[in-house]
Amino acid sequence: MSEDQSTAGSDGGLDVLLRTEQTFPPPPEFAAQANASDPGIYERADADPEAWWGSWAEKLEWIEPFDEILDWSDPPFAKWFTGGKLNVSANCLDRHVAAGDGDRVAYYWEGEDGTRKEITYAWLLEQTQKAANGLKSLGIGKGDVVGVYMPMVPEAAVAMLACTRIGAIHNVVFGGFSAGSVVERMEVSGAKALITADATLRRGKPTPMKEAIDPAIADLETLEHVIVVDRAGSNPPMTEGRDHRWEELVGGAGGDCPPEPMDSEDPLFILYTSGSTAKPKGIQHTTAGYLTGVTATHKLVFDLKDDDVYWCAADIGWITGHSYIVYGPLANGATSVMYEGAPNYPAEDRWWEIAERYGATIFYTAPTAIRACMKWGVEHVEKHDLSKLRLLGSVGEPINPRAWLWYHENVGGGRCPIVDTWWQTETGAIMITPLPGLTTTKPGSATVPFPGIEAKILDESGAEIAEGGGHLALTRPWPSMARTLYQEPERFVETYWKRFGPDTYQVGDAARIDEDGYFWIVGRTDDVINVSGHRLSTMEVESALVSHPKVAEAAVIGVPDEDTGQAIFAFVTPSGGTVGDDELEAELRDHVAEKIGKLARPKQMAFADDLPKTRSGKIMRRLLRDIAAGEELGDVSTLRDPEVVESLQKQLAV
């Protein structure tokens, strides 16, 4: 890997000492009842991947059947299930209600303030149709982009489903992002409407959403309508003609809205994620392939049964929420838990209290959250009866073996298999994962590709490495693959399909394959930092920093962090006359929070009159990583001014 592509894998700096040789075969009683219990499933899917995916697509409800499973004549632009027509909301709602399951609970929703609601499939269908009619009454229809910037309330799912009902393309922005990020994402996608809430409740306090974005959205040319859900009763100011109260718009709308017949390849949603540059990438997913991928993986990876109470503790604003809170579970008719707030509010046992209350059987979260729970202490877990749990999942970053073992022992009572699921916004659905009734797990490994998926480790030249480390690549198309970057097809090709050719997807992760063919994800190979499972690009944070008048230059790197996997370390050169002190550090942290969101605030900062650069002026990030880690410096022969490094080292030594 070239200098700037060396990885700072989040597993690397953690408990490397605690590598366990222990392996965990599926418990026999689990295997006996598992949805996937025949190991031949891998071979069959491998022998004819198209037939395998076709069999899953056939389980969906089609308005018009598809003609061809896969058209891969123009890689990397895949077309799946061509000629077919279907509607995602009809698959997620109508068909369950029509089958007599209208009273089935789709979500046990719990607000942070203790409010509880049982959201049935019939209620979701009714609200979705009303919201769809509300959107239509504003002139929003097929192909229009609708932003969604919401807390974790049932209306967030309704908003997404209502878009799919009429063929509008939703563009969800995580509720923790700042006004600036919302505006950028609305602007680049040309959003016509934005659905938001008055406020989000977090740790007992309402934090304004609508009012916070108001000044910034005023100048958006394409944005015609803002729809505001009342979450906290805070009555934000409304702009006449542009702003609408959800309760009035949706409440007053008709309850019958036939689902729009969508082409298999019609766009379903876009979701912006961080890449190597400051400009976020609008990952575009389409209708039939995405729904097929999330349905199959949700059913098999989570071993979903009719009586399960499934809980994915992610946020709807990330791909995990899209695929495994909304579309996968609803397409499969699951009963889920949806929780609005912080895991430790009002106390550190909040999650386990909820899991006990609803009798959760499946629980899916991120390693960072597991490490936080470890820190808070096992007593919070032990207070509650979690004996109904039968399966645990992990996603978003490499899980260090110590956290894996703690999760297994303390949350899973030693009896629940753990599925460590590797995937990305771009892949739409889980790609590398155990099947819990079949796969022997090794703590820290996401194990093997899902049936039908082909993954390889490639060296710099693109040659396959049978055992060892290199670039992770997916070497065969799959139905839920991103189709393009919204309105940027060249960038799509350039980013993912150039390095190893147009039919090999370059993941952007470094990984290792062991003697059993198990994959171990190391970390990113691009300038993306994974903080608590959230993707941020170094450039994004750097441009936020340099937009502050007191900053002349900034370089940002990811460093291993015990709690968050990776943390952001910023090296900053203050502008002339400014002193780099604690006060400036606090000011800059606030500034980044305002520009991007709190999650992007640098954890550590160092100030210097200059940054270590090559003679051609390129910042040497590799040296910054060495400096941050307090390690001996690697090759410094190309360094322009060695004194800069010394001053930084001195500063960090104190």
Note the residues at the interface with ligand WTA (CB under 6 A).
Answer: 273, 318-320, 395-398, 420-425, 446, 508-509, 521, 524, 530, 535
Closer residue to ligand WTA, CB minimum distance, 266 or 509: 509
Closer residue to ligand WTA, CB minimum distance, 257 or 446: 446
Cβ at position 401, least distance to ligand WTA in Å: 13
Cβ at position 104, least distance to ligand WTA in Å: 27
Closer residue to ligand WTA, CB minimum distance, 200 or 445: 445
CA atoms of 545 and 552, how far apart (whole Å): 9
User: Can you give the three-state secondary structure of 31-88, one letter per residue?
Assistant: HHHCCCCCCHHHHHHHHCHHHHHHHHHCCCCCCECCCEEEECCCCCCCEEEECCEECH
Cβ at position 431, least distance to ligand WTA in Å: 9
Joined tokens for residue 382: 């032990």
Closer residue to ligand WTA, CB minimum distance, 109 or 364: 364
Cβ at position 273, least distance to ligand WTA in Å: 5
Q: Are β-strands 193-197 and 225-229 bridged in parallel, bridged antiparallel, or unpaired?
A: parallel
Q: Considering just the CA atoms, what is the radius of gyration of the chain in Å?
A: 24
Q: Letter for the amino acid at 544?
A: A
Cβ at position 505, least distance to ligand WTA in Å: 12
Cβ at position 424, least distance to ligand WTA in Å: 4
- Choose among 422, 490, 499, 498: nearest CA to 460: 499
Cβ at position 420, least distance to ligand WTA in Å: 5
Closer residue to ligand WTA, CB minimum distance, 280 or 508: 508
Q: Letter for the amino acid at 310?
A: Y
3-state helix, strand, coil split of the chain in percent (to 5) is 30, 25, 45
Closer residue to ligand WTA, CB minimum distance, 134 or 451: 451
- Choose among 291, 352, 348, 279: nearest CA to 322: 291
- Choose among 164, 192, 133: nearest CA to 260: 164
Closer residue to ligand WTA, CB minimum distance, 89 or 336: 336
What is the enclosing helix (H) or strand (E) of 160?
A: helix 154-166
Closer residue to ligand WTA, CB minimum distance, 312 or 605: 312
Q: Letter for the amino acid at 574?
A: P
Cβ at position 340, least distance to ligand WTA in Å: 21
Residue identified by tokens 């039968």 is: 390
Cβ at position 364, least distance to ligand WTA in Å: 11
CA atoms of 544 and 562, how far apart (whole Å): 25
Q: Give the dihedral of Cα atoms 485, 490, 496, 500; nearest 10 deg.
A: 160
Closer residue to ligand WTA, CB minimum distance, 520 or 571: 520
- Choose among 213, 210, 188: nearest CA to 199: 210
Find all residues with CB under 8 Å of 121, minimum gap 6, and list them: 93, 96, 97, 101, 102, 103, 104, 106, 333
CA atoms of 70 and 314, how far apart (whole Å): 32
Cβ at position 53, least distance to ligand WTA in Å: 20
Please answer whether residues 31 and 37 qualify as being in contact, where contact means their C-beta atoms are separated by less than 8 angstroms.
yes
Helix axes 582-595, 179-189, angle to 10 degrees: 40
- Choose among 294, 297, 292: nearest CA to 436: 297
Closer residue to ligand WTA, CB minimum distance, 133 or 284: 284
Cβ at position 507, least distance to ligand WTA in Å: 6
Joined tokens for residue 26: 């599926």
Cβ at position 472, least distance to ligand WTA in Å: 8
Chain Cα centroid distance, residue 386: 26
Closer residue to ligand WTA, CB minimum distance, 80 or 422: 422
Closer residue to ligand WTA, CB minimum distance, 509 or 540: 509
Cβ at position 195, least distance to ligand WTA in Å: 22
Helix axes 582-595, 538-546, angle to 10 degrees: 120
Closer residue to ligand WTA, CB minimum distance, 336 or 421: 421
Strand, helix or coil for residue 149: strand
